[in-house]
């Protein structure tokens, strides 16, 4: 019953939207190079599913490595920064500023700094993009310790290390996951968009552009659907991980 209530509206909305789209395209006789019909996209999706799968694996691997790398570095950096107050004071505004930069534009430079024949540049782009939300949120979490907890641990004569492990880390988990949730779909987008600037042609991004260059929009959109699914998988996996890691929080979307 409750489940139905949560699932029904979006499903109905989606079905109606797709039906409307199909109707507009067929009734308005809109050429596929302007807006492909959902049915045509679906057809291509089925036809290209092998290609989509392989491309999604390639892009997904890049996104995953970027995500994991960026998260690990972000969390470690946040832990180091939280140990030294001045460092945290400096790094928060600095990271916030860097986060406002169009990082994706670094792709061509990274391609030159590393090599365009490896996947490192796009993984780096994904990693850097992941780094900021994770770092900023984790640091915030690490710094926000309930003063009562602090006093309690003091009365238990707990050492700094014990305090970090038993209080700071678990206390910052919700923040880490807040960052991760944002980062997860960003990582996929970054990995896909970075392909735009050259490099190996094995991912969704290059498939999309090459299909689009041939005006094969239904095919391009089939790959786009693949990219959306990939992003969704990342996002939902993060949500699942969040639930597993924090059984004391039952809400799915904060």
The least distance separating another protein from the CB of residue 82, rounded to whole angstroms, comes to 16
| 52-71 positions binding another protein, by CB under 8 A | none
Interacting residues with another protein between 112 and 141 (CB under 8 A): 112-118, 120, 140
Our CB check for another protein shows the closer of 79 and 108 to be: 108
Binding mask 8-47 for another protein (x = CB under 8 A): -xx-xxx-------------xxxxxxxx------------
By CB neighbour count within 10 A (0-12 exposed, 13-18 middle, 19+ buried), where does 101 fall? exposed
Q: Which of 39, 72, 145, 198 binds another protein (CB under 8 A)?
A: 198
Nearest distance, CB of residue 73 and another protein, angstroms: 14
Query: Which residues have a Cβ under 8 Å from the Cβ of 59 and sit 6 or more positions away?
Result: 188, 191, 192, 195, 203, 204, 205, 227, 230
In Å, what is the CA distance from 169 to each residue of 12, 73, 164, 197, 253?
Answer: 42, 15, 6, 38, 21
| CA–CA separation, 163 and 181 (whole Å) | 26
Task: Please say which residue, 160 or 170, places its beta carbon nearer to another protein.
Answer: 170
> In this structure, are residues 130 and 67 in contact, taking their beta carbons and an 8 Å threshold?
yes
3-state class of 254 per DSSP?
Answer: coil
Q: Is 210 in the site for another protein (CB under 8 A)?
A: yes
Residue appearing with tokens 């959109």: 221
Stretch that binds another protein, among 66-74, 76-84, 166-174 (CB under 8 A): 166-174
Q: CA 28 from chain center: how many Å?
A: 36
Element at 205 (helix H, strand E)? helix 204-213
- Contact with another protein (CB under 8 A) among 42, 166, 237, 243: 166
Q: Which of 156, 160, 165, 252 binds another protein (CB under 8 A)?
A: 156
Query: Measured from the CB atom, is 83 or 214 closer to another protein?
Result: 214
For residue 165, state whether it binds another protein (rule: CB under 8 A). Answer: no
| Contact flag: residue 244 with another protein (CB under 8 A) | no
28 vs 76 by CB, closer to another protein: 28
Which whole-number Å values give the CA distances from 109 to 24, 74, 190, 198, in the listed order? Answer: 43, 22, 15, 11
Compute the least distance from the CB of residue 136 to another protein, in Å: 10
Q: How far is CA 149 from CA 139, 170, 171, 204, in A?
A: 18, 12, 10, 48
For another protein, the closer CB: 79 or 212? 212
Number of residues lying near another protein (CB under 8 A): 109
Interface residue with another protein among 77, 134, 138, 207 (CB under 8 A) is 207
Nearest distance from residue 36's CB to another protein, in Å? 9
């Amino acid at each position: 019953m409750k489940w139905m209530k949560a699932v029904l509206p979006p499903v109905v909305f989606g079905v109606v939207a797709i039906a409307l789209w199909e109707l507009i395209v067929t009734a308005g006789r809109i050429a596929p190079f302007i807006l492909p019909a959902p049915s045509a996209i679906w057809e291509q999706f089925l036809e290209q599913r092998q290609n989509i799968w392989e491309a999604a694996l390639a892009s997904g691997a890049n996104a995953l490595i970027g995500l994991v790398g960026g998260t690990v570095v972000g969390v470690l950096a946040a832990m180091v920064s939280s140990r030294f107050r001045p460092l945290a004071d400096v790094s928060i505004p600095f990271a916030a500023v860097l986060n406002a930069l169009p990082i994706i534009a670094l792709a061509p430079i990274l391609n030159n700094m590393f090599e365009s024949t490896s996947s490192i540049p796009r993984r780096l782009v994904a990693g850097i993009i992941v780094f900021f939300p994770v770092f900023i949120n984790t640091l915030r979490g690490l710094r926000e310790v309930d003063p009562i907890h602090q006093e309690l641990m003091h009365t238990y004569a707990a050492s700094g290390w014990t305090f970090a492990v038993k209080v700071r880390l678990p206390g910052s988990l919700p923040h880490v996951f807040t960052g991760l949730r944002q980062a997860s779909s960003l990582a996929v987008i970054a990995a896909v968009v970075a392909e735009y600037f050259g490099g190996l042609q094995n991912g969704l991004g290059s498939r999309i552009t090459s299909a689009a260059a041939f005006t094969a929009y239904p095919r391009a959109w089939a790959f786009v659907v693949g990219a959306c699914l990939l992003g969704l998988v990342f996002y939902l996996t993060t949500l699942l991980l969040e639930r597993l890691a924090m059984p004391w929080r039952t809400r799915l979307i904060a």
